[in-house]
Every structure is written in C-alpha cells, then in structure tokens.
Amino acid sequence: MHPIRCIPWGADLAKILVIEDDNETADEIVTALSDRGYRPARASTGTEGLERARDSDWDALVVDRMLPGLDGLAVIETLRNENVMTPVLVLSALSAVNERIRGLRAGGDDYLAKPFALGELTARLEALLRRPAAPRETTLRVGPLELDLLERTARRGHRALDLLPREFRLLDYMMRREGQVLTRAMLLEQVWNYRFVPQTNLVDVHIGRLRRKLDGPDENPMILSVRGVGFMLHAPA
C-alpha cells in the first residue's frame, strides 16, 4: 500500500471546506481529500464560502486567492476579524513572489502557488491540521530517538548521534511532525528558511546524510521516503 493511505491519526474526523471557483481544480482537491479520509465540502464563491465557513466548525479551510464575489483574502480577513482561527491554506495562481506575503499577512497559515501537486496540498493541509507539539518542551522523543533541545544532543537508544547544526534542526522539525508526510518544499522553507526550487535533489542528499547517522547497520529505518511527495519520520515497529 502507498504510505500516504496509512495516516494513522484521526484524519476521518477532519472537516475541510474548499473555497474554489474553478470546478476542475475543486473536484481534484475534493477527490484527493476524500481519498485520504478527510470530509471535504466545497463552496464556489467568496460569499458562499464565507457563509459556510461561519456556519459550522471546520478543521481547516482551503481558500483560492481569486474568487468571484468576495476575494479570497477578504474572506480570510473577515473570518480572522470575527475571531475564527481555523487554519487556512491559501491557493493562488498569482506570482508567488509577491502574493505569498500578502496571503500570509491577511491571516492565511500557509500558501501554495498553482499549479501544485496534490501530494503537496495534502501534506501541507495535514501539517496545518496537526500543529506540532508546544515549542516549550525541552526533550523530543520518537520511538528510540531522543533529542535534547537544551543540551543540543541527540541519541538513538544508547547510541549518541553526532549531528551538524542543520541536521539537528532538520531532525527537530521532523520529530515534531512524526508520522506526517513532509514535502521537499516544506523542508526547504521550514528548515533552511528559503523558498526556492533547487535544480538538484539537494533535500534528498541532506536527508540521506541524516538517515545514515540515524539508522545503525542492523536498525530499522526511521525516515521513510514517500515517493513523489517527500519524507516521513516514524517510530520503527
């Protein structure tokens, strides 16, 4: 089975409202979301979307930037002003360079430029649905893996791991999102703090290094590759 289908966490509870005017895109998104066990609903105009978003409790919203009637950003701003804090993923065909900042400023939690891979959309949505553990914690644990955030040390079982600062950050990020698919773009944005598409599969190389340090010769691998999408850290069975 494809790993994405085995999302263990209560995804079936998640109700997601997709506000998107383009029928084809909306259908694709809705299908992909229900395939993954979410309960999606769709609104095709800004006004309808705003009403439905107010009407019931959603776990997340997917909002297109350009909508007939009421603009996507206006929808988000209105909701935020009414203290609706549901996580929002903004979709836009507009240039990522300018629009991303505006999207986030309006109250969106993440931004995805069209056209996008559906895997990217669901991974980002899942990240929004599962906000990571409070950053106050000083020790992260996933299975045998332990990360001491104060001492800046890592160990798997009894074996100490010698990590470079960036590898430490990478592992930190992945451990907070255990069992969650993380795309290359997400890792670049969050761990390296830069938004760009490298011409070489650099993220894979960095993950490869981390993997070699993490998994001893006879140990079960902890970082899975999710083909066509990204990577996932999980506790070995």
Spatial distance between the Cα atoms of 174 and 129, rounded to a whole number of angstroms: 16
Q: Output 56 or 200, the one with its CB closest to other proteins.
A: 200
DSSP code, position 192: I
Nearer to other proteins, 41 or 96 (CB): 96
Which of 17/185 has CB closer to other proteins?
Answer: 185
Opening angle at CA 191, ends 190 and 195, nearest 5: 55
Tokens of 131: 């906000």
Three-class SS state of 133:
coil
Could you give the CA distance from residue 107 to residue 85 in angstroms, rounded to a whole number?
Answer: 9
* Minimum gap (Å) between residue 71 Cβ and other proteins: 18
Binding residues (CB under 8 A) for other proteins: these are 95-98, 101, 166, 192-202, 205-206, 208-209, 227-228
Q: Which is nearer to other proteins, 202 or 235 (CB)?
A: 202
User: What 3-state class would DSSP assign to 55?
Assistant: helix
- Rounded to the nearest whole angstrom, what is the least distance from the CB of residue 97 to other proteins in the complex? 5
- In angstroms, what is the minimal distance from the CB of 165 to other proteins? 9
For residue 17, give both structure tokens: 């409202």
- Closest contact distance (angstroms) between CB of 200 and other proteins is 6
